Amino acid sequence: MNTSEFRPLDVENIRKDFPIFATEPPLAFLDNAASTQTPRPVVEAMDAYYDTYRSNIHRGIYRISEEATAQYERAREKVAQLINAPRTRQVIFTRNTTESINLIAYSWGTANIREGDEIVLTVMEHHSNLVPWQLLAQRTGAVLRFLEITDEGLLDFTQLREVLTEKTKLVAMGHVSNVLGTINPIQSVIEAAHAVGAKVVVDAAQSVPHFHVDVQQLDCDFLAFSGHKMCGPTGIGVLYGKMELLEEMPPFLGGGSMIRSVERDISSYAELPAKFEAGTPSIAEAIGLGHAVDYITQANLAAIHVHEQELLKYAHQRLKEIEGITLYGPSAPHQKMGVISFNIEGTHPHDVAGILDTHGVAIRAGHHCAQPLMKRLDVIATVRASFYLYNTIEDVDRLYDGLCRTQKLMTRRKQ
């Protein structure tokens, strides 16, 4: 790929690939941190599987099964290229980020974590990168420790040295906060963690869809993300792991596909990646994910990032004009991704979301699966708008207009 020649996103043409935006006025879909829309080429690739070569993969001794296997494995290659995995086998297909992290916690965690060991997390983790570690700590007697954030919503780096000790066996951390949009200095954390001999799990659910993530450059031990947040279908996620770790880890789920040979009382297990893909996987969804990778790569991840930064800057400017609004997270757009969390004084986030919905603006309101972060921010919930490659300045304007109307409706009565 020629990265020296930068092409801005052709948003108008991109939007034509998404039938959901064909209405008038178009849906202002600003809930991309939860799940993104699916472009036609991805749906068509999955349709082609169902219409022309639907069959189970691996071991099928007939043409269409061979085709399905080839397409499923082709998807794995595309994902491996996307994140620059040294070997394609290091890409394990799961259901989603949550399942990937649970796989690490059960397999690697149970084999390696002992009583008194410390697992370091941050206070801004999504529940999917918190609860699996709580469960592991309960099983093993390990201790969870938390890195705090500053009032700006940035990781409190000064605390890192004190928290990371020879007791630390694992650091599990989101690359980008799903609530604040904060881009965490993951590279520095990985270096510091490795210096004390700890492994690092990166929850990349909010980063891989939006900018180029290189697992070799990061030198992370594990990395997890979901297909449905990057133009792919639901039901398919990815776990990347370092070769030597994946090789040593015991299986997670037992069943078909993950075995080499099975006796009555004992089995030997398949090589990677099959060892961690028990049972018939999400075949169509994996193929769809492969095409989603093609889609965002062709659009160009660098251009997607620039486009989202423009929307973010504009949204910051407009939203600040609204009376009684509080924006959470870093104020400098370059420290964050296209995610804005906010509250309007005196109005419950669910009311904001309900009123915006009647104006054709889809945003999320709630705790965003990050209850410890809500406590840290001292709020019950927030409203969150999040962008992707198909969003426009007009979407932001409609959010702004909807918020002005909400504000008027909810406060005029208090005068």
Task: Tell me phi and psi for residue 117, to 5 degrees.
Answer: -65, 155
Give least dist CB 383 to another protein, A: 12
Smallest separation (angstroms) from another protein to the CB of 354: 6
DSSP secondary structure code for residue 234 in this structure: T
Q: What are phi and psi of 237, to 5 degrees?
A: -140, 175
The CA-atom distances, in angstroms, between 220 and each of 162, 215, 274, 318 are: 21, 6, 22, 37
Give SS3 for 44: helix
Round to whole Å and give the CA distance between 263 and 277: 20
- At its nearest, how many Å lie between another protein and the CB of residue 347? 8
Residue partners of 78: CB distance under 8 A and separation at least 6: 290, 293, 294
Residue closer to another protein by CB (options 305, 359) is: 359
Residue placing its CB nearer to another protein in the complex, 325 or 380: 380
Q: Of 220, 231, 369, 404, which residue is the catalytic one?
A: 369
User: In this complex, which beta carbon is closest to another protein, that of residue 316 or of residue 348?
Assistant: 348
- Contact residues for another protein, defined by CB under 8 A: 348-351, 354-355, 357-358, 365-367, 374, 380-381, 409-410, 413-414
91 vs 352 by CB, closer to another protein:
352
CB of 343 to another protein, least distance (A): 12
10 Å CB burial of residue 314 (0-12, 13-18, 19+) is: middle
CB of 406 to another protein, least distance (A): 9
In angstroms, the Cα distances linking 260 to 255, 256, 312 are: 11, 10, 50
Instruction: DSSP for 148-208, please give it.
Output: -B-TTS-B-GGGHHHH--TTEEEEEEESB-TTT-BB--HHHHHHHHHHTT-EEEEE-TTTT
369 has catalytic annotation: yes
Residue 274 or 381 with smaller CB distance to another protein:
381
Catalytic residue annotation: 369
